[in-house]
Amino acid sequence: METTLYETNYLKIIHNSEHNFLFISWIGFTSSQEFRDGINHIFDLMNQHQIKKTITDITEHKVISTEDQEYAAKLSIDFSRNFWDVKRALIPPKDVFARFSIKQVNAQVAKQEAQERRFFINYEEAFEWIIE
Domain 2-130 classified CATH 3.40.50.300?
no
Give pLDDT tens digits along the chain (132 positions).
999 999 999 999 999 999 999 999 999 999 999 999 999 999 999 999 999 999 999 999 887 888 998 898 889 888 988 898 899 999 987 766 656 566 666 666 666 655 688 889 999 999 999 998
Query: What is the sign, positive or negative, of the torsion defined by CA atoms of 63, 117, 50, 67?
Result: negative
Say whether pTM exceeds 0.85: yes
Extents of the domains making up the chain? 2-130
